[in-house]
Structure 1
Amino acid sequence: MENEIISGLDSYLSFRLGNEKFVVNIGYVKQILEMTTITKVPHMPDYYKGVINLFGDVLPVIDSRVKFNLEEKPYGKSTCIIVLMISNQDVTAKFGLIVDEVRAVLQIADEQIKEPPEIGGKFKNELIHSIANVDGEFIIILNVDDIFSTDEITLVNPNQP
C-alpha cells in the first residue's frame, strides 16, 4: 500500500507534535476528529490510550507523543485525532492518532523529498519514510505502515485476521 500511495499522491496532511512538524500521505487519512472522551482499556501499552465510538465501530486510539518517545503533555483545545488506515503485511486496521494540532494539506513534489538520514536521533528511523523540504523547512514524512508492527496491530485490533 505504501509505495502505491506515496508515488501516486503528492498531497500530505500536516500536523504538529510540540515544535516538530510531520506529514502523512493523504491516502492513509480517513477523517479528522475533535478530541473526545476515550474509554481506557486495561493492560495495554502506554501509548494505547483506549477506544472511542466511531459511528458504532470501536476505534483504538494511540497517543503519538508517547509512541514517538516525545514528552507527554495535557491535551489542549487544538488536540485532535487523525483516523488512519494502516496496512502491515496481511493486516489492515484503522487507528486514531492523537496529535497536538492538524495544520493543513500540503502539496509536496517528488523533488522536495529526500531520504531520511542514516544517523540515530530523536525518532526511530523506521517511522520516517522521508524528509520534505517545504519553503526551507524540514518536515518528517511518516512511514505510516510501519508505525505499528503486525503484533501491535493485532493487540489493539483483536478482530483483525
Structure 2
Amino acid sequence: MSETGQYLTFTLGGEVFALDIGTVREVLELTTVTRIPRTPEFMRGVINLRGRAVPVLELRRKFQMPVAADTVNTCIIIVEALLDDEPAIIGALVDSVREVVEIPATSIEAAPRLGTAIRQDFIRGMGRQHEGFVIILDGNRIFSVDELTAAGEAAVLDAAPSSSAMPVEVQTG
C-alpha cells in the first residue's frame, strides 16, 4: 500500500507548485510588508505576525521568474522550515493559493534534470495530477540559512510594530 501525502498548491506565473501541508502553518491575505534595507532582492521584507517579525520572500524573484504586480489573490504562505536543524517561521509570497490535494507517493516522479525554471535542488519531485504536473518544492532547501539570518537580524531592528494580517483558514480534506 502506497503512502499519500497532502500538499498545499499555489501558483506562480501560471505554474502550479506545492508544499507539504505539514510545513504550512497558515495562509494570510497580502498585508503591508516592511522593506528591510540591504537584503537580497527576493526578500520582500517582514510582517508582524502576532508580535513576531516574520521574513517574507517573493518566490517569483527567488526562482528568477518575471515580477508581477500584486493582485487580490496574492497571498503569504506561512511555513515552518528547518534551518540548521532549528525550526524557522518564514512567509512565502505567491500569486494565489489553490487547494490542498492528496498525491500518492507512486504519482511523484524525480525532479527533471533539465527544463525547469527553478533550481533542481529546490524541487522535491513532480506530482502527477489530472493531465498535468505539480512541482513539489522542498521548503527546507528554498530558504538558505545565510539569507534568513541576515533578514532576521535586520527584522529585529527594523520591523513595524503592527500589521493587519488576517489568517485565512486552510481547509484540509
TM over 0.5: yes
Q: Once structures 1 and 2 are overlaid, which stretch shifts more, 83-92 or 26-35?
A: 83-92
Distance 2:116 2:19 in 1: 20
Q: Is the 2:47–2:53 Cα contact (8 Å) retained in structure 1?
A: yes
Paired residues, number: 153
Matches within 5 A, 1:87-98: 87-98=82-93
Give the percent of matched residue pairs that are identical in Structure 1 and Structure 2: 37
* TM-superposed deviation, 1:154: 1.5
Whole-angstrom distance in 2 between the partners of 1:143 and 1:21 = 14
Partner of 1:73: 68
- For 1:4, the equivalent position in structure 2 comes to none
Question: Aligned to 1:17, which of 12, 17, 20?
Answer: 12
Tell me whether 1:116 sits opposite 2:111 in the alignment: yes
Matched residue, 1:3: none
Other structure's SS at 1:108 match:
strand
Aligned to 2:131: 136
Structure 1 unmatched ranges of 5 or more: 1-6
Q: Deviations over 1:109-143 (max 9, x none)?
A: 11110111122531100110000010121110001
SS in 2 for 1:40: coil
Q: Distance in 2 between matches of 1:32 and 1:90?
A: 24
CA–CA distance in structure 2, aligned partners of residues 86 and 8 of structure 1: 22
- Shift of the alpha carbon at 1:9? 6.3
- 1:49 is aligned to 44
Moved more, 148-157 or 91-100: 148-157
Could you tell me how far apart the structure 1 residues matched to 2:57 and 2:93 are?
Answer: 6
Aligned 8 A contact 1:88 1:146 in 2? no
Match of 2:35 among 28, 40, 45: 40
Q: CA shift at 1:90, angstroms?
A: 2.6
8 A Cα contact 1:93 1:153, kept in partner: no
Distance 1:152 1:9 in 2: 33
Query: Match of 1:152?
Result: 147
Deviation digits for residues 64-117 of structure 1 (CA, Å, limit 9, x no counterpart): 100011000110000000000010333321111000000000000111101111
**CA apart distance, 1:151:** 1.3
Unaligned runs of 5+ in 2: 156-173
Question: Is 1:63 equivalent to 2:51 in the alignment?
Answer: no
Matched, 1:82 2:77: yes
**Higher normalized contact order (CA 8 Å, seq sep 6+, divided by chain length):** 2
Distance 1:9 1:52, change over 3 A: farther
Distance of 1:33 and 1:152 partners within structure 2: 22
Q: Which runs of 4+ in 1 moved over 4 A?
A: none
